[in-house]
């Protein structure tokens, strides 16, 4: 596929080729097929030909949505992270106390990282970072950095952790995940019960708010 075509947006490509935009069912089918291939083959050995075949779609459609294999992988991870990010405005506009909102964010974050499929995908990223630094960089920009930015915006709206809100956001995520990521990388069978998950998040929120006490009013 020509490089100039790869740089176009999905919408523009589909319009140019006279194809209607993909619906959510088709997009999900593509992402499910992509996930399966990456989990079975790893990143390096996964092929777009096999992904297109399993997704029952054309490579043209696949490239219209995801111009590179790295974009495919980022799309798979984003399908998980965007479910978390989608609640951002709810948190900002909610009348809930920060302790409640942070607890909900923390539980959702830890559930995402403790899900077997997400953990398996995360292991692939760790294993392939040296050989494919662009993949790691794209995931950092689209998922990790975006998540920190949204959380920092929430903290700013509640005057928590300032003036370095971005740093405080990263600190909160670190408190929530703790040593779980390292342990999960070494033990593929590691599981968190719901009671343990909630206790970890409760302690994380307590530690975070002890360093950044809640203010009596917003800016």
CATH number of 124's domain: 1.10.357.10
Its pTM stands at 0.82
What span, in angstroms and rounded, lies between the C-alpha atoms of 197 and 61? 40
pLDDT higher than threshold 90 for residue 39: yes
State whether 132 and 164 are in the same domain.
yes
Domain that holds residue 59: 3-67
Task: Note whether 158 and 95 are within 8 A (CB).
Answer: no
174: its two tokens: 């670190």
Strands (E), 7-160: none
Q: What would the pLDDT profile of 100-141 be if each residue is shown by its tens digit?
A: 999 999 999 999 999 999 999 999 998 888 899 999 899 999
State whether 137 and 189 are in the same domain.
yes
For residue 219, is it within any domain?
A: no
């Amino acid at each position: 596929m020509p490089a100039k075509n790869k740089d176009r947006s999905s919408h523009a490509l589909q319009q140019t080729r006279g194809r209607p935009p993909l619906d959510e069912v088709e997009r999900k089918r593509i992402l499910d097929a992509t996930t399966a291939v990456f989990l079975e083959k790893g990143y390096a050995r996964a092929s777009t030909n096999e992904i297109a075949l399993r997704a029952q779609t054309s490579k043209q459609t696949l490239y219209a949505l995801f111009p590179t294999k790295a974009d495919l992988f980022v799309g798979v991870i984003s399908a998980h992270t965007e479910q978390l990010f989608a609640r951002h405005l709810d948190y900002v506009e909610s009348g809930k106390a920060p302790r409640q909102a942070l607890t909900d964010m923390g539980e959702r974050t830890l559930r995402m990282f403790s899900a077997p499929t997400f953990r398996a995908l995360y292991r692939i990223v760790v294993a392939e970072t040296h050989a494919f630094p662009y993949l790691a960089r794209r995931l950092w920009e689209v998922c990790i950095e975006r998540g920190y930015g949204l959380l920092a915006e929430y903290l700013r709206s509640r005057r928590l952790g300032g003036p370095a809100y971005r740093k405080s956001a990263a600190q909160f995520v670190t408190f929530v995940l703790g040593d779980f990521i390292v342990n999960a990388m070494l033990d593929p069978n590691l599981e968190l019960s719901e009671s343990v998950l909630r206790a970890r998040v409760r302690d994380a929120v307590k530690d975070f708010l002890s360093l950044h006490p809640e203010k009596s009013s917003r800016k």
